Amino acid sequence: MDGPHAVGYTRTARGRVGAVARYTALGVAALLFLLPFYLIVRNGLASEADITAPSWTFFPTSIHWSNVTELFRDPSVPMARALGNSAVVSVVQTVGQVALSSMAGYGLARIPFRYANVVLGAIVATLMIPAAVTFVPTFVVVSSLGWVSTLRGLIIPGLFSGFTAFLFRQYFLSFPKELEEAARVDGLGYWGAYWRIVVPNSLGFFAAIGVITFLGAWNAFLWPLVIGQDESSWTVQVALSSFLTGQTINLHELFVAAAVAILPLLLVFVFLQRYLVQGVAESGIKG
């Protein structure tokens, strides 16, 4: 991780000036990047009067933790249910997508089949067409299955990502074959070798893809908006959006809701950043 060329570079006076300039620039940029988070906290802990006051207060005159309980007690804001929906959708989608795609990736990389290349070609072809463009036709299919406003409708169409399958295939191509062959010698078939040898030795990669999938699932908006027609099937993002574009609630409650909506991902960022960074790098470069 250490910048190799930094060595012996900041020792000169010019280098020292450069370092000060660099830290100053980064410090200013960091403040700008953190500004929106400050606004969430400031508005979320303020009273309505503080937020709408004619002159700006840097921080609320008195802190209103009660805003949090107010949000969850507010019957017109289905926040608890939306959080539950988001949690179910994100977790199931992450687990399901990783399981299905990794198996498909493994099959494509390792199991000989005469038409494997045809299957692979079909998968790669779907990478050309971003999922967002197909939301209209996918909606048509899902609605004729009667899955509108259901968790099924929210989750299942998002389980099959050609991109993730492709990533797994690339990964398994470089997985050391010797390990599997040892398993074969022990009499394990593909199934046994996969679950007992391959998966346990690939947990880092699985975690990286899982974390990035979770991030995408939690923050997804277009599909949940299209499919979540009934309030009971809203995810957090759709709930927030409906207050943003139509209904209005108190500003302070809305900012608490925003804080609640990003909290799970902030936890991921704090505790799983290593996997997240790896996931970004994997999916970005190979994409």
Q: Which of residues 153-182 bind other proteins (CB under 8 A)?
A: 156-157, 159-160, 162, 165, 173, 177, 181
Give the range of 87-95, 200-208, 223-231 binding other proteins by CB under 8 A.
223-231
- Per the CB < 8 A criterion, the answer to whether 10 and 18 are in contact is yes
Q: Is 58 in the site for other proteins (CB under 8 A)?
A: no
Give the range of 87-95, 201-209, 232-240 binding other proteins by CB under 8 A.
232-240
Q: Is 76 in the site for other proteins (CB under 8 A)?
A: yes
Give the range of 4-12, 87-95, 201-209 binding other proteins by CB under 8 A.
4-12
First to last CA, the chain: 23
- How far apart, in whole angstroms, are the C-alpha atoms of residue 105 and residue 162? 10
Nearest approach in angstroms of CB 206 to other proteins is 15
Q: Is 43 in the site for other proteins (CB under 8 A)?
A: yes
Interface pick for other proteins out of 2, 11, 176, 187 (rule CB under 8 A): 2
Of the pair 127, 203, the CB lying nearest other proteins is at 127
Q: Determine how many CB atoms are found less than 10 A away from the CB of residue 98.
A: 21
Site for other proteins in 237-276 (CB under 8 A): 237-238, 240-242, 244-251, 254-255, 258, 261-262, 265-266, 268-269, 273
Interface pick for other proteins out of 16, 17, 20, 25 (rule CB under 8 A): 25
- How far apart, in whole angstroms, are the C-alpha atoms of residue 183 and residue 181? 5
Nearest approach in angstroms of CB 50 to other proteins is 9
Q: Is 140 in the site for other proteins (CB under 8 A)?
A: yes
Count of residues interacting with other proteins (CB under 8 A): 132
Q: Is 106 in the site for other proteins (CB under 8 A)?
A: yes
Interface pick for other proteins out of 17, 20, 28, 34 (rule CB under 8 A): 34
Site for other proteins in 107-136 (CB under 8 A): 107-114, 116, 119, 122-123, 126, 128-136
